[in-house]
Structure formats: C-alpha cells, structure tokens
Amino acid sequence: MADTLLQVKGLQVAYGGIQAVKGVDFEVREGELVSLIGSNGAGKTTTMKAITGLLPLRDGDITFRGRSIRGRGAWDLVKDGLAMVPEGRGVFTRMTITENLQMGAHIRRDTADIAADLDKVFTIFPRLKERRNQLAGTMSGGEQQMLAIGRALMSRPRLLLLDEPSMGLSPIMVDKVFEVVRDVHGQGVTVLLVEQNASRALQIADRAYVMESGVVTMQGQAQQMLQDPKVRAAYLGE
C-alpha cells in the first residue's frame, strides 16, 4: 500500500458563528486520485481551505508528508509541494497567460526546469500556448480554469487540490476539465478533488468520501460508490 501523503484527523472548522466542519477524518495516499463529494454547503470547500491554511482549525490536525501543517499558510505550503486551485479559479486577470504561469513557479529558482515545465503545461493545454500573450481576464471561464490548473502545476506539486473545477462551465469545458484532471493524475500527480458533479468525479477517482452537513458519511472505492443505491439516489439523480 502506498504511503499516506495527506491525513486529516478530527478536523473541526467554524466561521461566522457556524460550525461548518464537525470532526472529519480522511486520507490521501501517494499516487491516488481521491474525490470529496457532497451537496452544496456540505463543508467541502471549508475543508479544502482549512487544509491549505486559509481558515483556522477549531480542533483536529492535518499532516502532510508525515508532518503537521496546522497553522501554516498557503504560500508556505506550496514550498512543501501542496498546491490548490481554488473555487472561482483566482487567476491574475491583468496579467498574460504566460505571466500567470510564471507566477506559479515563483518559489522556484531552477530557471531551465521552469522553462521546461512551461513547455509541458503548453503541451497539456495547447489553447493556452496559442494565446500565451493574451490577458487572463479576457479568457472564458473554462480557459481560466485550464490556466489555474496549469499555474498550480508550475509549482511541481506532490499533491494538487482542486476545488469545484467544473463549476459554472459549459458541458464541453466540463468534459475537458475532467480529461485534464485524469491526464495530470496519470502523469504521477496525487490529486484531491472536491466536486459537486459526483458522477463525473467518481468516474475518474480511485477512492471517494461523501460529506454531508460537515461530516463524512460514506467512504469507499469510487467505482463501488458509483453503483451504491444510496449514492445514486442522493447525488446521481437516480
């Protein structure tokens, strides 16, 4: 069995007087694609923000590569190999595509390897290469999502966290996003995917956890969960 890369134990997060996450436990092992699914408001995004240091923990602990990362900031965690593509993408709209991608490598000093990785990202996303000098703010939502994923890859992450990557995209771009996530995982990047589109997430994941009202209510192999009557009724519209 592969080593545990990320472990979340007893995670509790509260903000605005609301206890949004109420004692969550899960893990992501090296090389896996793990999906966290659940309806809107289940606490998935809050969990991701807590992992990356964007929200403080009320209780519990998070370990990454065997060390606690509780209380550490997102910028600091990138150095250790943990990168997140946030919900809403968060690209720098007044910078070009190339400049956005270079920002993803801001912690690195290996100039030659950065250039090679930029070429690799352009191979994964040919549309970004075609428009490399275009301002990010003039791109479609789907193109910005590709850029956000590409920017995260420029940091050479050991673990890539994706928060609702298909939200608000056209069906064609949703297909493209899931294709890219599968390809990135196939190249050896461990992925934690938070996604409302449960069916698509389970189709590409190795394992999955279901969150409801701030707690994990189910977990298992993704392909088995796709066939589970309770999951199908609650999340797959059947």
Given this model, what pLDDT does residue 233 score? 84
Q: What is the distance between the alpha carbons of residues 117 and 62, in angstroms, rounded to a whole number?
A: 29
Residue 136 has what DSSP assignment?
G
Given this model, what pLDDT does residue 103 score? 93
Query: Sorting pLDDT into bands at 50, 70 and 90, what band is 232?
Result: confident
Given this model, what pLDDT does residue 96 score? 97
Indicate whether 11 pLDDT > 90. yes
pLDDT tens digit sequence for 174-227: 999 999 999 999 989 999 999 988 999 999 999 999 999 999 999 999 999 999
Sheet holding 207-212, edge to edge: 82-85, 159-163, 190-195, 33-37, 207-212, 215-221
Q: What is the distance between the alpha carbons of residues 41 and 228, in angstroms, rounded to a whole number?
A: 22
pLDDT tens digit sequence for 107-162: 888 888 999 999 999 999 999 999 999 999 999 998 999 999 999 999 999 999 99
Residue 96 has what DSSP assignment?
B
Q: Please tell me which residue, 122 or 233, carries the higher pLDDT value.
A: 122
Given this model, what pLDDT does residue 86 score? 86
Residue 214 has what DSSP assignment?
T
pLDDT tens digit sequence for 35-49: 999 988 899 999 999
Query: Sorting pLDDT into bands at 50, 70 and 90, what band is 1?
Result: low
Is the domain 30-53+72-235 a CATH 3.40.50.300 member? Answer: yes
Given this model, what pLDDT does residue 182 score? 94
Given this model, what pLDDT does residue 238 score? 53
pLDDT tens digit sequence for 84-105: 998 877 899 999 999 999 999 9
Sequential DSSP letters for 49-88: HHHTTSS--SEEEEEETTEE-TT--HHHHHHHTEEEE-TT
Residue 3 has what DSSP assignment?
P
**pTM: predicted TM-score of the whole model, two decimal places:** 0.93
